[in-house]
Structure formats: C-alpha cells, structure tokens
Amino acid sequence: MNFWESNVQVLRTQYPALAEQIEKNAAPKDSENAGENNRDGAGIAVMSSAAGLPVIAVNGVYVHSPRDPVREGRRAAEALEEGDGPIVALGFGLGYAAEAAAEIFPKRPIIILERRIAVLRKALEIRDLGRFLSLHKIVFVLGKEGADARAVTGALRLFEGNPVMLRNRPLMQLDGEWYAGAERHIKTWVSKDEINRATLRKFGKRWVRNLSANMKAIRDFPGVGFLSSCLPPGMPVLLIAAGPSLDSLSPSFPAMAERAVVVAADTALRLLLRNRVEPDFVLSVDPQFWNVRHLDRAVALKSALIAESAVYPPALRHPFKRIFLCGSLFPLGRFIEDRVDPKGALGAGGSVATTAWDFARSLGSASIYIAGLDLSFPGLKTHFKGAAFEEKALTESSRFLPGETRSVHALRDGRPFSAPAADGGKVLTDRRLSIYAAWFENRFPLYPGLRNYSFSTQGLAIPGLIPAGPEELLSLPPRRQEIESLLNGIFARTEAAFYAPETAAARNARYGAARGELLGGLEKIRALSENAASLAENARRGKGEKRCAAAAPSRLSRTLDELDKTNREITESEVKDVAGFLFPPMAELEAGLENKESADLALERHLELSAKFYRALSETAGYHVEALSKKRSTAGKNNEIPPPHGAP
C-alpha cells in the first residue's frame, strides 16, 4: 500500500467528508475538468532535501527548507506560546511544522488552514501522515475564493482558549489575500473574547441593575415572536444604521419610506425625524445611560420600539406607540422569560445594527436595503452630522479639549487599520467595527434566500452584502398605505392575544412565582457560599496559628465533605447561572496562589482557593438580591412601567 492509499484510508475513517473532497479534486493530469484548486497544483514540483526528505516548490517557491524541513518545522513549533488553546497552522504544506506541534503539544488541538487543496493532496501522496491524521483533535479548513469567516470561526468555536498561529511564510506569500483574510478572522475572534470580557467587567453590574428595574416589562410587554414572518416576501425592508454615509442618503429617506417597512437603530432616530420620517420600528438594546440620550427630543408616536429588557430604564418609558421585547441576552432576564413569557430571540453581535438586521430578517421579507452600515470611517468621518456623539463632543468642547480631539480619539483608539471597501478601494476601520463585520459575514450565508443591499458603497466590504444605489429602492412603487394597514392589523391581533384578561392574569401569577423562586434561590446560594467560605478559611488556618496539616483529620475530612455537598447543591440550583453572571475569571482568583508540590501544601492551596471562590460567589449572588429588592420610584407609580399608547 503506498502513502496515498494508507493516508486516505485513515481520512475515510477519521474525516470522511475531507477524504471525499480531496478525492474529487484529482490532480490536473487525471481530469480535463480540474477545478481551480487543481490549477493551483499545476506548479507543484517535488524534490528531495539535503537531509533526504521530500520537499515541494510551488511556482518555483520552496514551501519548506531544502536542507532540513523537519528541523525547520520543529523550530517553528517550539517558538509557539504555551497554553491550552488551538494551534492554527496557516498553510500546511507537507505538514512538517504541524507534526512537530502535535508532538510538542500533544494535548492541544490543531486547526489546519490550507488554501491549495492540491498541496494537501500532494502531502498525502508523498509522506506517511497516518499517525498525525489519526489524532482526534485536528480540524481542516480548505481554501475557497476568499477565506470563509464561517469556516474559520466555526473551527475556533470547537475549542476553548486563545489560538496561536503557526505560519508557513512561503504559502502565505503565494496566497497573501486568502491567508490575510483568515488571519484577520482569527484576530477578530480573539478580540471578540477580549472585548466581551472587558465589557462584562465594565457593564455587568449596570445590566443587572437595569434588568432589576425593568423586570415587570417582561410581564407587561409582548415579544418579537408575535412579529416573526409577518411580512410577505415581496415587501421590502429599509434598515437604517447610523454610519457617516447617512449624510448623503438622508434627503432620500422620505421617498424610500413610502416604498418599504422602515427599521431604524435608535442612534439614527433623530436624523430620521429631522427628515420627516417616523420609522415603523426602532431598535434599542444598549444598556448604557448615554445610549438612551439618542432618544432625547425624539418623539415618534407612530413607531414601535423593539428593546432588550436590560436597556436603560427610561427607554421603556419613552412615548412610542408600542413596545416589543426581544429575548434577553443575560441569565437574569432569561430566567424570568423562560417561566413567564418567552419573547423570541434576536441575534446580537455587539452593535444595535446587528440586532436591527436580525429583526429585519425575522419579519419575513426577501430583500433588505441597508443604509448607514459603514462599519468604517469613510472620508475619516466617525459619525453623521448631528449625531448625539457629535452634540455631546461640541457641548463639552473647551480650549483644552476641543471636539476635534474626541474625533481623533474615536479614529485612533480602536486599533485602526486599512481594509477593503465595498467600492473596491480601501477604507479605515478598527478592531471593534471589524468584529461587527465578521458577525454579518457569518450570518448572511445562513439565509441564502435573503438579498441584502447596501447603500454604503464606501463602507467596509462584507461578503454577502450587495452594493446598491438608492435608485434600486426608489424604483419600486410606493406602498406606504398598504404597509400601515398591514402593520396595524398585526398590532391589533397581538394586543388582543397578549392583553386578554385571562392571559394577563395567568402571566402575572407566573411572574410572581418566578420572582419568588429567583430571590429564594439566590438567597440560598449566598448563604451556602458564605458558609462554605468560612469553613474553608477556618480549615486552612487550623487552630490558632497552626497549619491545616495539623488539624484533626476527622474535622478536615468533614470540612471537605461539606464543601462537596455545597458544590452539589449550587450546581443543581435553578439560579446558578444568574448567581454566576458577575463571577470573576478563575485566573483572577488564582492570582497570588503558589503551586504547592507536597500534599499538605497543595491541600492548603485548595482550601485558600475554595475560600476565595465561595466568597466571590456569595458577593455576586448578594449583589443580585440587593438589586432585585431595591425599591425604585423612577419606574412610575407603584413601580409600574406604563403601557405603550394603544395597549389595553
């Protein structure tokens, strides 16, 4: 049996889909109809290195060292950072570096990104890779026209920990654009986790306070599930984000609104009202105080608000005609929703524009026209004229901190870089905006029947987003009267079903029971954790100044049994996810703790870490209890959120 046959036999067992894909991509000499990847393989030359091992050159470029490819691959693998995250091989070649990485880091998964299927096929033909391929922690991402964000991030999603990159420089130079795109997706993935952790640390308590104040809104407002697929496919949707390109598009909005259902981000509402357009739906999902200021002096009595239950509370008291809630993104909100009234989930990619698009998609239209989705700084502009950010900067401007300085910070502080624009040129974007773009790039292919048109031709290029001019929408016939009749009928049916006396009474009873279960569960976790922390601290200290090793074995055994019992009770609690929402990272708790080699000292470390663990859990559970128990006079009389105009 030759190398090809033995390697493919392993592939058929371990990776049958990969084996089928490689076998279909026969070498050019085997088929007159070879695909693009095989044309890439036409320039592959096989040679022998000075060490007697096979190496290849692609279009005259050596992929590995012509002297000793094994030594070269091992050096590259040894230079990788320690950790438990996946190793991403950017360019497999003949696999020397990936093999070395698997040997040096046997517990780490390996993700192989190879642009040229013909190169991978050649590796299977001339090298024995059976042992390497038999590992159960290898994922392959093979080349397409442009690195597929879904494939790259889908592979990363399979494993925990931050990835490290093992680069084959010659292959990356041969297919620079493809590998640069793949590397960009990887860095975006890593940045997403970093930003999520930083966001939770900064705003976690704000989310809990907002949800606690808005808890009754989950009982009192219907969910977006009532609006799912409510539009016929032929009814277009106009989605308006808040990018700088709105300056040139805003004069066309009144005519556009006559032809499509208008969905707007709250950040764009005031601009629309200035142009005499009241959107059909306004999305607000940001929990911060400054975000609700976008609604200042924005009276939209014909609009329905689509909100997440953790928004800053005044947003739910704004004079919108109707209010719908989407499914909560946080354990506290989900706990109540699951027991009282599930609202219907919307996607969230960190920006109101991502949730607004997913809402627009959920309405059922087959075409969405998008304005202001720049996700970049076209013309070095950070926002449209008259945006709340601009007003705030100008209001707070001084001789020592002019408004222009804030604009420079907005351009500079997000780690800016140049990226392809929709019109084929280049545009400045940053790490945060590229994360939003990656979210769209992953989502668009999930709905192949949906056409997404973008009027932001100078904005960031996003695969699946079709560049278009305003005339694309303006050429459609006016349908405003039909749109309003359709939506009013949907709203009337929703209100009749949701606010029916019997339904409302049952929902109110479920709300009372869920709130009682939540508070009781959190109080129990707080008490259990506080007691467990004290037990661990006392056991570690022993009597007086004695070390834990000197404590009576029976008492220490009872303490450990009690800690195990506490852990089981907390793990089985229905509210454990709520209690753990604000829990700090384990690395933070372990900071300052030394690794102990002897059994006695290792036990002491375990008890010290247990004390810190349970103390932190007691604090986060207690914070939730205090937030939920706080009396709030700002939500209206008797702590009620007033119903929207038109609700019974």
- Give residue 624's pLDDT: 96
- Residue 348's CB is within 10 A of a number of other CB atoms, namely 16
Residues 386, 395 contacting (CB under 8 angstroms) = no
- Give residue 507's pLDDT: 97
Instruction: Say which residue, 65 or 408, is predicted with more confidence.
Output: 65
Query: Does residue 576 have a pLDDT over 80?
Result: yes
- Min mean pLDDT across 30-34, 183-187, 199-203, 366-370 is at 30-34
- Give residue 397's pLDDT: 64
For 148-201, how does the pLDDT look when each residue is reduced to its tens digit (9 = 90+)? Answer: 767 888 888 888 888 999 999 999 999 988 998 888 888 878 877 666 666 677
Element (H, E) at 52: none
Q: How confident is the model at residue 386 (pLDDT cuts 50, 70, 90)?
A: low
Instruction: Say which residue, 256 or 142, is predicted with more confidence.
Output: 256
What percentage of the chain exceeds 90 in pLDDT?
Answer: 62
What mean pLDDT comes out for the span 62-69?
A: 94
Instruction: Say which residue, 550 or 132, is predicted with more confidence.
Output: 132
- Give residue 394's pLDDT: 53
Element (H, E) at 297: none
Element (H, E) at 353: helix 352-362
CA distance linking residue 362 with residue 407, whole number of Å: 35
Q: Are strands 417-420 and 426-429 parallel, antiparallel or unpaired?
A: antiparallel
- Give residue 551's pLDDT: 46
- Give residue 24's pLDDT: 78
- Give residue 190's pLDDT: 80
What mean pLDDT comes out for the span 48-74?
A: 94
Query: Does residue 644 have a pLDDT over 60?
Result: no
What mean pLDDT comes out for the span 403-429?
A: 79
| Burial class (CB within 10 angstroms; exposed 0-12, middle 13-18, buried 19+) of 27 | middle
Query: Does residue 1 have a pLDDT over 70?
Result: no
Query: Does residue 33 have a pLDDT over 50?
Result: no
Query: Does residue 93 have a pLDDT over 80?
Result: yes
Query: Does residue 597 have a pLDDT over 60?
Result: no
Buried b (16+ CB within 10 A) or exposed e, 562-598: ebeebeeebeebebbebbbbbbbeeeebeeeeeeeee
What mean pLDDT comes out for the span 193-214?
A: 82
- Give residue 357's pLDDT: 97
- Min mean pLDDT across 201-210, 233-242, 491-500 is at 201-210
Instruction: Say which residue, 634 or 92, is predicted with more confidence.
Output: 92
CA distance linking residue 253 with residue 273, whole number of Å: 10
Domain boundaries, given as residue ranges, for the chain: 3-191, 220-491, 502-629
Query: Does residue 550 have a pLDDT over 60?
Result: no
What mean pLDDT comes out for the span 373-378?
A: 92
- Give residue 29's pLDDT: 42
- Give residue 315's pLDDT: 93
pTM, two decimals, is: 0.77
Output the CA torsion 463→469→474→480 (10° steps). Answer: 40
Q: How confident is the model at residue 631 (pLDDT cuts 50, 70, 90)?
A: low
Query: Does residue 67 have a pLDDT over 60?
Result: yes
Query: Does residue 633 have a pLDDT over 80?
Result: no
For 99-133, how does the pLDDT look when each residue is reduced to its tens digit (9 = 90+)? Answer: 999 999 999 999 999 999 999 999 999 999 999 99
For 263-292, how does the pLDDT look when each residue is reduced to its tens digit (9 = 90+)? Answer: 999 999 999 999 999 999 999 998 888 888
CA distance linking residue 253 with residue 275, whole number of Å: 7
For 492-543, how does the pLDDT look when each residue is reduced to its tens digit (9 = 90+)? Answer: 999 999 999 999 999 999 999 999 999 999 999 999 999 999 999 988 877 4
Residues facing 281 on adjacent strands: 263, 304
For 289-322, how does the pLDDT look when each residue is reduced to its tens digit (9 = 90+)? Answer: 888 888 888 889 999 999 999 999 999 999 999 9
- Give residue 146's pLDDT: 60
Element (H, E) at 103: helix 96-104
Q: What is the mean pLDDT of the chain?
A: 86
For residue 167, give the amino acid letter: R
- Give residue 406's pLDDT: 63
Lay out the sheet containing 237-240: strands in order across.
322-326, 304-308, 281-284, 261-265, 237-240, 367-371, 451-454, 465-467
Element (H, E) at 386: none
